Copies of this chain bind each other. A is one copy, B any other.
């Protein structure tokens, strides 16, 4: 590093900014290629694209590991007291994100990259063929590597804490244990009461809903949410997702099923919540490493807040019901708004996380959390994982897992190397419930929804969450929003109140 010297902050920042701008541009380009690949690209074009993405990654690696850029980052970290707060945050966060990777010996990282590249295909085949045994050796290595890498990065902390912190800054097993314990204590008994009550009718949701009318519904929903279409597009892909190139250019996708109107409807509202967050990030962070949402948990809080707390509320259904009836007069004949509301809130323990209702969703995540924790701690062996999975599904959800395809092999996360990621799905739901409770102190949420103007809600969230981008940690944002630390009891109260009413539980 001695060959590079910097006369001061300005010179070091110039080098940093040049590297940053190139990294941002390449990230943008790779994002557009990805978006195209899942929305527009012809079927047999993957190999050519993969080669380009590989080469682009190499160019990005060269840019971000350029010796002068690395020296500038080290210099800036060392002189961080001379930086203003935004710059200090940006430089130290960037350095921190890089250090996890750079603390891994190069040959181990290369071997891991190859392992992951192979594991995806092996997992895919194993899932199709219900063959856990073929995937087990890969999964074993993935968990071994993640445990070891956590140790390289921070040997003094338990490995799973290091991994949790990668996806949700500040999250620890202690916090997650408390969170999941309180959910479990409340949701499991509530679920048995719900299951004992008469089931709601949702058969009309499976009628034939033409795709062109569903597309009109998507446009309408985005309009109701106040999403600026001049900065946010919608496309169609196999799995819905949100991608942002900057706060000026956000895209969501959905997937239409002719026999399931709720699927695309709620994916649009969910992704719309992600989009509002990205669209609201402050312009001062554009093309910096502080742009975009701060964490998976906060991101999910925004998407699930709109999907469930707003989108599955009685007021929201009442608001949009005239449009639904206009678009689908035959399909909804004789169905009133309240019946539709109950249908989209039907609770039914199931095998598949991505299809779970609002109440049971957290239990799916709980299963994964407990298993990951045990695997990383060495208390559970990969060979015993399917049996442990099935036992927990029986215990928490009351369902019998018929095979590993519909059990332990259902998610792609582990095969992609994401260990410690799942808890943020449930955390997001709980963050959202706490946020909306604070929001209600300032804004008449019911009146806003009923009146069809969500802007007071969006503006409140924008002020407290969106505009800050990656500038502050998740815990800071929650404190900023709610005036207190994270407290899962809001989520539990919300679920209890809502589903007791729908299922008429006293």
* Chain A interfacial positions (CB closer than 8 Å to B): 21-22, 24-26, 28-30, 32-33, 35-36, 39-45, 47-49, 51-52, 55-56, 58-59, 63, 212, 229-233, 235, 245-246, 248-249, 251, 286-287
A248 to B43, CA, bound (A): 10
A25 and B249 contact, Cβ closer than 8 Å, known pairs A36-B35, A48-B286, A233-B42: no
Residues of B within 8 A of A245 (CB): 45, 48-49, 52
Closest to A229 in B: B42
CA of A33 to CA of B251, assembled, Å = 14
- Cβ contact within 8 Å between A45 and B287: no
Q: Return the chain B residue nearest A21 by Cβ.
A: B55
A29 / chain B contacts, CB cutoff of 8 Å: 26, 29-30, 32-33, 52, 56
**Inter-subunit contact A36/B41 (CB<8 Å):** no
Residues in chain B near residue A45, CB distance under 8 A: 230-231, 245, 248-249
Could you tell me if B52 and A25 are in contact, using CB atoms closer than 8 angstroms? Answer: yes
State the CA gap A28–B212 with chains docked (Å): 32
Q: Report whether B25 and A59 are in contact in the complex, using a CB–CB cutoff of 8 Å.
A: yes
* Chain B residue with the shortest CB-CB distance to A49: B249
Closest Cβ of chain B to A164, distance in Å, is 32
Ranked 8 nearest A-B pairs via Cβ: A25-B55, A45-B249, A29-B29, A44-B230, A43-B230, A25-B52, A28-B52, A48-B248
CA distance A384 to B436 in the complex (A): 61
Given contact pairs A24-B52, A32-B29, A41 touches B249 in the complex (Cβ within 8 A) = yes
The answer to whether A48 and B235 touch across the interface, beta carbons within 8 angstroms, is: no
Q: What CA separation (Å) do A30 and B36 show in the bound complex?
A: 12
Question: At the interface, is chain A mostly helix, strand, loop or mixed?
Answer: helix
User: Smallest Cβ distance from A470 to chain B, in angstroms?
Assistant: 18
Inter-chain contacts of A251 with B (CB < 8 A): 40, 42
Add 17 more A-B contacts to A24-B55, A41-B249 (CB < 8 A).
Answer: A22-B55, A25-B52, A25-B55, A25-B56, A28-B33, A28-B52, A29-B29, A36-B36, A40-B251, A42-B230, A42-B231, A42-B233, A44-B248, A45-B248, A48-B248, A48-B249, A51-B287
Tell me which residues across on chain B come within 8 A of A229, comparing CB atoms.
42-43
Q: Are B59's CB and A249's CB within 8 A? A: no
Do residues A40 and B235 form an inter-chain contact, with CB atoms below 8 A?
yes
Cα(A30)–Cα(B33), bound, Å: 9
Instruction: List, sorted by A's number, 16 A–B pairs whose CB atoms are closer than 8 Å.
Output: A25-B51, A25-B59, A26-B29, A26-B59, A28-B33, A28-B48, A29-B29, A29-B33, A29-B56, A32-B32, A40-B235, A42-B231, A43-B230, A48-B245, A48-B249, A49-B245
A54 closest partner in B (C-beta):
B25
A283 to chain B, nearest CB (A): 11
Closest chain B CB from A239 CB (angstroms) = 18
Question: Are A41 and B248 in touch, CB under 8 angstroms?
Answer: no
| CB–CB A40/B249 < 8 A | no
Contacts of A42 on B, CB cut-off 8 Å? 229-233, 249, 251
Q: Report the nearest B residue to A30, measured CB to CB.
A: B29
- Say whether A32 contacts B22, CB under 8 Å: no
Contact among B44, B51, B55, B230 for A231, CB-based, below 8 A:
B44
Residues of B within 8 A of A40 (CB): 35, 39-40, 233, 235, 251
CB closest chain-B residue, reference A232: B42
Q: Are B59 and A22 in contact (CB under 8 A)?
A: yes
Distance A480 CA – B58 CA, assembled complex (angstroms): 41
Q: Which of A48, A56, A251 has the most CB of B within 10 A?
A: A48
Question: Most chain-B CB neighbours within 10 Å: which of A33, A43, A251?
Answer: A33
When C-beta atoms are compared, the residue in chain B nearest to A235 turns out to be B40
Q: In whole angstroms, how far apart are the Cα atoms of A204 and B33 in the complex?
A: 41
| A59–B64 alpha-carbon span in the complex (Å) | 13
A212, B211: Cα distance in complex, Å: 13
A64 CB, min distance to chain B CBs, angstroms: 12
Whole-angstrom distance between the Cβ of A254 and the nearest chain B Cβ = 14
Identity of the chain B residue whose Cβ is nearest the Cβ of A27 in the assembled complex: B52
- Least Cβ distance of A83 to chain B in Å? 24
The distance in angstroms between the C-alpha atoms of A68 and B246, with both chains bound, is 35
B-chain residues with CB within 8 Å of residue A249 when the two chains form the complex: 41-42, 45, 48-49
